[in-house]
Amino acid sequence: MEKMDLAEALSRLESVAQELNAESDTINPILRRVEEGLASLKVGLEVWLDEPLLGEQNKTIGRGSWETGTWTELRLGYARCKEGWSLAVKRIRVETGFFEGDPDAPYRNEYEDSKPLPLLTLSREVRVAALGCLHDLLLAIRSAKDLVKRTPVLPKRKPVLPERVADQRNQRRKLA
């Protein structure tokens, strides 16, 4: 009897898996279109969202009145990977606590724990989560591009040399 229950459970799981696969097959084309659109714009700016994709992972919290914490987060961004510019994900390690135990001196340090990986090569769970953040990422890219546009570019000027250095250069040129 147990074997029939197991076979029935597997049969139900098979239909759920087929439905899930059909739904997730629509995700990659959307991600590819966004990626191709960004590539055609030649944005060329690395931009990362601050919010984690899937929440905190591997969280450890210290004990005591001055707790410290360490965890990792996945962040969505647009970056240059091995294959070129693409939607990407990187793992960030976050450490929090209080400097020398002082409650008035909290800190939060973030470290890049992995190189950016192309989003399309990652798990379904990550791609589905990223789909919900694409709008925010596009806004962040636009903001970064606007910031670059507003940054003044200084005109190129000839270097100003002290008279003695300029005289030495002129003498060398005459000898050559």
Sequence length of the chain is 176
Give the pLDDT band (50/70/90) at residue 158.
low
Alpha-carbon distance of 27 to 104, in angstroms, equals 46
Question: Given this model, what pLDDT does residue 1 score?
Answer: 46
Q: Quick: pLDDT tens for 29-63.
A: 999 999 999 999 888 889 999 999 887 666 666 66
What is the mean pLDDT of the segment spanning 98-102? Answer: 83
156 pLDDT band, cuts 50/70/90, is low
Query: Would you list the domain boundaries of the chain?
Result: 7-150
Give me the pLDDT at residue 30, please: 92
Q: What is the pLDDT of residue 81?
A: 92
Q: Is the predicted pLDDT of residue 102 greater than 90, yes or no?
A: no
What is the DSSP secondary-structure string of the chain? -HHHHHHHHHHHHHHHHHHHHHHHTTHHHHHHHHHHHHHHHT----EEEEEESS--EEEEE--SSS--EEEEEEEEEEEEETTEEEEEEEEEEEEEEEGGG-TT-EEEEEEE-S--EEGGGS-HHHHHHHHTTHHHHHHHHHHHHHHHHHSPPPPP-PPP--HHHHHHHHHHHHH-
- 35-39, 128-132, 158-162: least confident range: 158-162
